[in-house]
C-alpha cells in the first residue's frame, strides 16, 4: 500500500520517521473525530498536516497550474465525506486515495486520457530523443512534468508514493503488466535527466 516515505522539513531536509507518522496518525484520529462533529479548526489541523503531500502530488500528476485548484477540491470533498471514513486504514491513506481519485477525475485529465495514445508516442519520442548534455537537458522534475499523463501517474504512484503495481492497476483501470512496462519505459527516459 502506498505510504508517505519522505517529508520535507522547514529547512528543506528529507526526513523518514515512523514515530512522527505514528504521532500524525494519533493527531488525525482526534482531529477527524472533531471535524466529523463539525469542528472546522480541527479540520484545518488535518489540512496543515497533509497539504504538502496532496499539493506536491497534484503538481506532479496534473501540473503546477492545476495543483492549487485540485488541492482545494480534495480538501473540500474530504470535508464533505469525512463521515464515510471508517478507520479501516490510516486517515492519510484514505485521504490520499480520495485525492488520487479527484485528480484522475478532473475533466482535463479525462480529456487528455482519451487522446493519450495519440499524444504519448510524440511526447515519449521528444523526451527520448533529448541528449543528456547539461546545456540541453531538462531538470529531472521538469522531465517528469513533460511525461504523458498516463506514464506520469504510474511513475508518481509507484516510485514516489510507493504504491504497488496491483494497486496502481486498480486505481488507473489498467493491467498490472501495463503498469510495469510503462514504469520501465519512464525510468529509461528519466535516466537521461539524472545529471540535471
Partner 1 sequence: MTDAWTHRLSEYVDGELDPQTQAALEAHLATCASCRATRDELQRVVARARGMGYREPASDLWGAIETAIAANAPRPGRRLVTLSWARLAAAAAIVAILAGGFAWTLASRRAVVVVTLPLSPDTIATGVRTSASTGTAMAVASYRDAAADLERAFEAGRTTLRPETMRVIEENLRAIDLAIAQTDSALRRDPGSAYLNQYLAATMQRKLKLLRRAVEITTARS
Strands 14-15 and 7-8: antiparallel
Q: Which of 103, 41, 40, 107 minimizes the C-alpha distance to 74?
A: 103
Decide: is 178 part of the binding site for partner 1 (CB under 8 A).
Answer: no
Greatest CA separation found in the chain? 57
Q: Which residues contact 75 (CB under 8 A, 6 or more apart)?
A: 47, 51, 54
Member of 1, 22, 29, 68 binding partner 1 (CB under 8 A): 68
C-beta of 113: minimal distance to partner 1 in Å? 9
Decide: is 97 part of the binding site for partner 1 (CB under 8 A).
Answer: yes
φ, ψ dihedrals at 15, nearest 5°: -130, 145
Contacts with partner 1: how many residues (CB under 8 A)?
57
* Nearest 10 degrees: Cα torsion 98, 100, 104, 106: 60
Cα 174 to Cα 123: distance, rounded to the nearest angstrom: 20
Member of 1, 6, 29, 175 binding partner 1 (CB under 8 A): 6
Decide: is 47 part of the binding site for partner 1 (CB under 8 A).
Answer: yes
Member of 1, 3, 8, 22 binding partner 1 (CB under 8 A): 8
Q: Treating both helix axes as pointing N-terminal to C-terminal, what angle do 91-105 and 64-81 enclose, rounded to 10 degrees?
A: 130
Q: Is the dihedral of CA 130, 131, 134, 139 positive or negative?
A: positive
| Residue 11-30 contact track with partner 1, rule CB under 8 A, x = bound | ---x----------------
C-beta of 81: minimal distance to partner 1 in Å? 6
Decide: is 190 part of the binding site for partner 1 (CB under 8 A).
Answer: yes
**Site residues (CB under 8 A) for partner 1?**
4-8, 14, 35-36, 38, 40, 43-44, 47-48, 51-53, 55-57, 67-68, 71-72, 75-76, 79-84, 97-98, 101, 104-105, 110, 140-141, 155, 159-160, 162, 170-173, 180-181, 183-184, 187-188, 190-191, 194
Amino acid at each position: 500500500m502506498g505510504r508517505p516515505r519522505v517529508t520535507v522539513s522547514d529547512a528543506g531536509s528529507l526526513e523518514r520517521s515512523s514515530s512522527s507518522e505514528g504521532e500524525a496518525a494519533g493527531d488525525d484520529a482526534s482531529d477527524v473525530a472533531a471535524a466529523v462533529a463539525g469542528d472546522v479548526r480541527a479540520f484545518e489541523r488535518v489540512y496543515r498536516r497533509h497539504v504538502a503531500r496532496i499539493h506536491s502530488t497534484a503538481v506532479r500528476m496534473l501540473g503546477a497550474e492545476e495543483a492549487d485548484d485540485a488541492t482545494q477540491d480534495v480538501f473540500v470533498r474530504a470535508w464533505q465525506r469525512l463521515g464515510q471514513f471508517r478507520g479501516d486504514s490510516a486517515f492519510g491513506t484514505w485521504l490520499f486515495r480520495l485525492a488520487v481519485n479527484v485528480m484522475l477525475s478532473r475533466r482535463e485529465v479525462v480529456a487528455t486520457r482519451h487522446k493519450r495514445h495519440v499524444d504519448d508516442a510524440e511526447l515519449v519520442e521528444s523526451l527520448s530523443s533529448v541528449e543528456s548534455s547539461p546545456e540541453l537537458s531538462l531538470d529531472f522534475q521538469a522531465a517528469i512534468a513533460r511525461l504523458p499523463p498516463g506514464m506520469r501517474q504510474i511513475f508518481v504512484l509507484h516510485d514516489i508514493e510507493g504504491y504497488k503495481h496491483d494497486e496502481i492497476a486498480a486505481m488507473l483501470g489498467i493491467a498490472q503488466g501495463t503498469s510495469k512496462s510503462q514504469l520501465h519505459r519512464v525510468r529509461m527516459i528519466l535516466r537521461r535527466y539524472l545529471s540535471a
